[in-house]
């Protein structure tokens, strides 16, 4: 079965760092772009960026450039999203998803990782 499994929910304080993960299985992880999508409480979907695990080529949304870092380790079929200094406004659900071609959309989604930042 093709799936993406994300790491569990996190509760952090402002200023702390965090790295969440997304592990793929059931397909050639290195061959498909992985994207990250933010959904703030009660709000819509926001595209954050994508990475090609085969060579770690990464593209960020202008809204998230410099705010987060997207990385991947193809040897363990895992993509990451990390923050160096969290803010309360980073409180959201974060989804990873597989991109089946630039125009074909995200066909497989992780279950989501809820990140709560509160003092």
Q: Which residues bind other proteins (CB under 8 A)?
A: 35, 37, 44-47, 49-50, 59-62, 95, 97, 99-100, 102-107, 109-112
Of 30, 45, 44, 22, the closest CA to residue 108 belongs to 22
Least distance between other proteins and beta carbon 116 (Å): 16
Nearer to other proteins, 44 or 75 (CB): 44
Nearer to other proteins, 28 or 59 (CB): 59
C-alpha to C-alpha distance for 26 and 90, rounded to whole angstroms: 31
Least distance between other proteins and beta carbon 103 (Å): 5
Supply 74's token pair. 């193809």
Three-class secondary structure of residue 29 per DSSP: helix
C-alpha pair distances (Å), 39 with each of 27, 36, 43: 26, 10, 6
Nearer to other proteins, 86 or 108 (CB): 108
Least distance between other proteins and beta carbon 102 (Å): 6
């Amino acid at each position: 079965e093709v799936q993406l499994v994300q790491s569990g929910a996190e509760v952090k304080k402002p200023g702390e760092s965090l790295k969440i993960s997304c592990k793929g299985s059931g397909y050639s992880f290195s061959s498909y772009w992985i994207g990250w999508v933010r959904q703030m409480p009660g709000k819509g979907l926001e595209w954050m960026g994508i990475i090609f695990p085969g060579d770690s080529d990464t593209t960020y949304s202008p809204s998230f450039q410099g705010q987060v870092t997207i990385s991947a380790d193809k040897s363990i079929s895992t993509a990451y999203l990390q923050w160096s200094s969290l803010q309360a406004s980073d409180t959201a659900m974060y989804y990873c998803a597989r991109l089946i071609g630039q125009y074909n959309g995200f066909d497989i989604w992780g279950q989501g990782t809820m990140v709560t930042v509160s003092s």
